[in-house]
Amino acid sequence: EVQLVESGGGLVQPGGSLRLSCAASEFTFSSYWMHWVRQAPGEGLVWVSRINSDATSISYADSVKGRFTISRDNAKNTLYLQMNSLRAEDTAVYYCARDLGRGSSWYDAFDIWGQGTMVTVSS
Amino acid sequence: QSALTQPASVSGSPGQSITISCTGTSSDVGSYNLVSWYQQHPGKAPKLVIYEVSKRPSGVSNRFSGSKSGNTASLTMSGLQAEDEADYYCSSYAGSRNLVFGRGTKLTVL
């Protein structure tokens, strides 16, 4: 079964750091654009970051630029999100998602989602 | 980037058709055909139901259809069923490598 499984969420103090992982299985991970999307409790979806198949094209939402870093290890079929200088407003469920796009094009349409991992930023 | 505008809630009876609007600007919805729609049941991950304005992924019911006019995209659901009750989100590429979502619409099947 095509699947994404996130891990690494938890409780962290303001100003702290956390690294999320997203393990992909049963598809050619190295071919796809990948994203992180978050959802604060009771709120809507918010796009966080995008990375292409070979990590040569990376984009971030303004709200996380300079604090979050997306990366991938195609040999390990894993996507990462390094989150530094965390703020209370970063509290959310973080989803990794597969873009329909492969190669040089992206669709910004996500056909496979993980189950999400909760990040809580609080003292 | 500001979130796309969606009605907070819509409702319909089983068998009816409903339409959810998603209004953006000339910098996002109006300029690109990279509009998608997602269905999200409580406590679950979102599910893609429409991409590139009007295309349906494999396995999605043909009761779901999408369209766009100017700065507004729309999701239409025909033959409403109880299991369609969920939150629905639109999204659009917004230029400069940004992506923006709508605030979501809660669909109630009466």
CB contact under 8 A, B48 and A109: yes
Given A62, A108, A116, which is nearest B91 (Cβ)? A108
Mean pLDDT throughout A90-104? Answer: 93
CB contact under 8 A, A111 and B57: yes
In Å, how far are A38, B37, B63 from B17, measured between CA atoms?
30, 17, 9
Task: Identify the contact set of chain B against chain A, taking CB-CB distances under 8 A.
Answer: 1, 3, 34, 36, 38, 40, 45-48, 51-52, 57, 89, 91-93, 97-104
DSSP result, B50-98? EBTTTBPPTT--TTEEEEEETTEEEEEE-S--GGG-EEEEEEEE-STT-
Mean pLDDT throughout B87-110? Answer: 95
Mean pLDDT throughout A74-100? Answer: 98
Q: What pLDDT band is residue B35 in, cutting at 50, 70 and 90?
A: very high
* A62 touching chain B per CB within 8 A: yes
Given A62, A108, A114, which is nearest B93 (Cβ)? A108
Given B1, B51, B89, which is nearest A44 (Cβ)? B89
Q: pLDDT tens for residues B54-75? A: 999 999 999 999 999 999 999 9
According to the model, what pLDDT value does residue B19 have?
A: 98
Is residue B21's pLDDT more than 80? yes
